[in-house]
């Protein structure tokens, strides 16, 4: 009997592409008739060996095969996956990277094994399974799966956990293609190089398995998936690792409570990838998760990815993050698990064609669960109180919509910056106020939070954010342990605002109060950022906004005209920035995205090429208000829009 109805026993890569092309037209009329029996049931080994069982059972792979015939989106993913799989057939097997981290090697192995093993499960050319087994054999022969033995650093534990994950998927999904010797070698590697390391870490209460951040999620999930893979054959060690991983992962999962937001910014994607894979593997293996999937906030965590991505397609990348939109396939699993169809809408619209994602997009996509934010009646704005981040937008599903993200929060968070009060702005499909995100992790002292060397780097300092710097010096320009709140947040159809109390972020006793508000005003057509500062004596302050736009400042210095060209040759987009209120003598200036003369300037940090910053220098002896208005310009008439009145933060409302 053919392994799958989609591809018969004479299946080849060329045939598969022909089948997909031939069925594309049938999508409109409906899927072709399919037989009812699962081809996986043809042989008894699946029942006896209980493989495959991680993330998917035989019937789930059958369902994927049927979707590739019937669904145009799945067809596109499959075609791309097959092209990538064909390229992998010629890729060399990995070699042990002496004197270097294995993390990159482990991630490559994860991607390759998922791709090749899924293509084999869908009835692919036996060459896919053969190449995947070669990958498995190569990494099984590595002397260890970390740079040091025993592992000492977070990277070491992440390498071992990700390699264990890769081997687990390969062992489980390709079990029926392996010889007994190949199975034994893979299983021994999972146990000796992965699970034994995990048990040692659990027994020593290692910070890397008990850590309440991304490291705690990835290590425990990777080890847990490895235990599930070999459980039928090695139940004793599997039970112990599973029990301890379920216990140790919980503090990190609870960091998503109560609203699903992540204190580590863009590391949310890494966290949710491994957490969802672990939960999905437990579920598909019929192993209870001890309430892990019911942790408060987990059902809402997909909102974090949706709301923090602006219409430009860029993420609000505070902390050590990059601006790539967060649309992992795990959103599709969360959508099914928690009945959140808008997660399917968001996740399935990813532009990624990476082998990191495609196999699980194919595995978890359900077209019937694809419901957008308009139909879901998703609110335009949100306040994630647990991380003190708020976002606002003028519309959903409009690439030219106005968007702003605003942050207070905890400077001491893992991967955090000195970024109290920072903001980003999107309009007309561009990001105008941008976050620089992470720098090179190899910089000396980059992760030295307590010793303070991290705060010597521009991208980690307040001057490298879009915020106010008061009395700059060579010391950290915000308190590294500051934790600030957004005590006022409101949203209505006409607009919304958030006001943060940032007083405790200012070093020393320079101010008695600093509050910053961000509002979407004029029926959601413009953004207002307003600071109110009460100094304790004389202060010097800098207002900064980083941008990749071209900047022209008016003769009086009270406004700036920002321009971005259209990459496709269309009309350029513009943003008008106006100073509505400021101390006497304040003007806009344009500066390099570089440290102030009083700041540290260590070697090796990013030169921030292509980025400049709009700045306002303030000198004041008494309380001052600094209000800056941002207006997207889509037509000449926009320049004549009335200037809104400047009112005190305490009097703000959603009708401004």
Of 27-31, 79-83, 133-137, 269-273, the one with minimum mean pLDDT is 27-31
564-596 pLDDT, tens digit each: 998 777 789 999 999 999 999 999 999 999 999
- Gap between the terminal Cα atoms of the chain: 69
CA angle, 443 then 447 then 453, to 5°: 75
Per-residue pLDDT of 604-623, as tens digits, reads 999 999 999 999 999 999 99
Catalogue the E-assigned strands of 429-510: 430-433, 468-470, 483-491, 496-501
What are the tens digits of pLDDT across the range 211-266?
Answer: 999 999 999 999 999 999 999 999 999 999 999 999 999 999 999 999 999 999 99
Q: Is residue 39 over pLDDT 90? A: no
Bridge-partner residues for 546, per DSSP?
613
**Percentage of the chain lying above the pLDDT 90 cut:** 87
pLDDT at 636: 62
Residue 639 confidence (pLDDT):
58
Q: Is the per-residue pLDDT at 11 higher than 70?
A: no
Q: Binning pLDDT at 50, 70 and 90, where does residue 426 land?
A: very high
pLDDT tier at 644, thresholds 50, 70, 90? confident
| Per-residue pLDDT band at 384 (split at 50, 70, 90) | very high
Question: pLDDT at position 4, please?
Answer: 33
- Judge whether residue 423 has pLDDT over 80: yes
Residue 404 CA to residue 130 CA, distance in Å, equals 50
Helical spans, DSSP H, in 194-267: 196-203, 207-210, 214-230, 235-253
Looking at residue 638, its pLDDT comes to 57
Predicted confidence at residue 451, as pLDDT, reads: 92
- pLDDT given for residue 197 in this prediction: 96
CB-based contacts of 627: which residues, under 8 Å, 6+ apart? Answer: 528, 529, 530, 531, 579, 580, 581, 582, 646
Q: 3-state class of 264 per DSSP?
A: coil
pLDDT at 483 over 50: yes
pLDDT tens for 175-205 read: 999 999 999 999 999 999 999 999 999 999 9
Chain-centroid distance, C-alpha 251: 20
Q: Residue 637: which pLDDT band, with cuts at 50, 70 and 90? A: low
Listed by start position, the domains of the chain span 382-651
Element (H, E) at 136: helix 126-140
Q: Is the pLDDT of residue 640 over 80?
A: no
Q: How sure is the predictor about 47, in pLDDT bands with cuts at 50, 70 and 90? A: very low
Looking at residue 641, its pLDDT comes to 74
Q: What is the pLDDT of residue 566?
A: 84
pLDDT band at 16 (very low <50, low <70, confident <90, very high): very low
Question: SS3 letters for 83-94?
Answer: HHHHHHHCCCCC
The whole-number pLDDT of residue 33 equals: 26
Residues constituting the chain: 656
**Average per-residue pLDDT for the chain:** 91
Query: What pLDDT score does 351 carry?
Result: 81
Mean pLDDT of the region 304-323 = 96
pLDDT of residue 21: 39
- Position 352 scores a pLDDT of 81
Question: Lowest-pLDDT range, 330-344, 351-365, 368-382, 513-527?
Answer: 351-365
pLDDT in the model for residue 355: 84
490-502 pLDDT tens trace: 999 999 999 999 9
Residue 209 has, within 13 A of its CA and on its CB side, a CA count of 27
Mean pLDDT of 517-541: 97
- Give the pLDDT band (50/70/90) at residue 409: very high
3 state SS of 643: coil
What residues have CB less than 8 Å from 250, skipping those under 6 apart? 292, 295
Kindly indicate whether the domain formed by 382-651 is annotated with CATH number 2.70.98.70: yes
Q: What is residue 13's predicted lDDT score, i.e. its pLDDT? A: 31
Token pair recorded at residue 210: 């008990």
């Amino acid at each position: 009997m053919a392994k799958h109805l989609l591809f018969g026993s004479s299946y080849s890569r060329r045939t598969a592409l022909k089948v997909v092309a031939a069925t594309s037209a049938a999508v409109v009329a409906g899927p072709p008739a399919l037989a009812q029996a699962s081809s996986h049931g043809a042989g008894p080994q699946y029942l006896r060996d209980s493989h495959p069982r991680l993330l998917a059972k035989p019937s789930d792979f059958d369902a994927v095969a049927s979707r590739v015939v019937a669904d145009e989106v799945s067809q596109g993913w499959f075609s791309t996956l097959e092209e990538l799989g064909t390229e992998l057939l010629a890729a060399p097997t990995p070699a042990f990277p002496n004197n270097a981290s294995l993390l990159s090697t482990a991630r490559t192995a994860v991607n390759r094994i998922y791709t090749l093993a899924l293509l084999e499960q869908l009835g692919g050319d036996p060459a896919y399974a053969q190449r995947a087994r070669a990958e498995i054999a190569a990494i099984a022969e590595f002397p260890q799966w970390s740079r040091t033995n025993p592992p000492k650093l977070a990277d070491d534990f992440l390498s071992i956990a990700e390699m264990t994950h890769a081997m687990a998927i390969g062992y489980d999904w390709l079990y029926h293609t392996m010889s007994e010797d190949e199975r034994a070698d893979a299983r021994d590697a999972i146990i000796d190089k992965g699970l034994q390391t995990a048990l040692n870490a659990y027994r020593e209460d290692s910070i890397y398995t008990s850590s309440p951040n991304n490291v705690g999620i990835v290590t425990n999930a990777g080890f847990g998936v490895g235990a599930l893979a070999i459980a039928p054959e090695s139940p004793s060690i599997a039970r112990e690792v599973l029990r301890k991983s379920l216990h140790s992962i919980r503090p990190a999962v609870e960091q998503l409570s109560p609203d699903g937001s992540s204190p580590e910014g863009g590391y949310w994607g890494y966290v949710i990838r491994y957490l969802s894979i672990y939960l999905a593997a437990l579920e598909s293996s019929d192993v209870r998760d001890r309430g892990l999937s019911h942790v408060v906030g987990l059902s809402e965590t997909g909102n974090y990815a949706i709301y923090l991505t602006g219409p430009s397609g860029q993420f609000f990348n505070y902390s050590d993050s990059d601006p790539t939109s967060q649309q992992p396939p795990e959103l599709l699993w969360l959508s099914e698990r928690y009945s959140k169809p808008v997660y399917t809408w968001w996740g399935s619209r990813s532009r990624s064609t990476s082998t990191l994602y495609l196999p699980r997009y194919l595995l978890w996509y359900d077209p019937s669960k694809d419901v957008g934010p308009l139909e879901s009646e998703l609110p335009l704005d949100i306040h994630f109180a647990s991380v003190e981040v708020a976002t606002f937008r003028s519309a959903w599903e409009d690439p030219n919509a106005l968007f702003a993200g605003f942050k207070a929060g905890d400077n001491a968070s893992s991967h955090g910056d000195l970024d109290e009060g920072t903001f980003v702005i999107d309009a007309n499909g561009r990001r105008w106020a941008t976050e620089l995100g992470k720098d090179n992790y190899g910089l000396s002292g980059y992760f030295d939070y307590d010793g303070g060397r991290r705060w010597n780097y521009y991208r980690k300092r307040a001057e490298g954010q879009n915020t106010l710097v008061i009395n700059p010096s060579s010391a950290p320009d915000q308190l590294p342990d500051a934790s600030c709140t957004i005590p006022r947040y409101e949203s209505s159809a006409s607009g919304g605002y958030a006001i943060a109390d940032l007083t405790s972020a200012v070093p020393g006793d320079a101010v008695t109060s600093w509050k910053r508000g961000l509002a979407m005003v004029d029926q959601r057509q413009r953004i207002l950022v307003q600071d109110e500062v009460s100094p304790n004596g004389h202060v010097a302050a800098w207002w900064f906004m980083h941008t990749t736009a071209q900047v022209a400042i008016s003769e009086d210095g009270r406004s700036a005209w920002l321009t971005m060209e259209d990459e496709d040759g269309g009309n350029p987009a513009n943003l008008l920035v106006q100073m509505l209120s400021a101390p006497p003598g304040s003007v806009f200036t344009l500066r390099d995205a570089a440290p102030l003369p009083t700041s540290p300037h260590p070697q090796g940090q990013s030169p921030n090429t292509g980025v400049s910053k709009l700045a306002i220098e303030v000198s004041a002896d008494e309380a001052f208000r600094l209000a800056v208005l941002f207006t997207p310009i889509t037509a000449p008439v926009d320049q004549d829009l009335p200037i809104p009145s400047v009112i005190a933060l305490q009097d703000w409302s959603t009708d401004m």
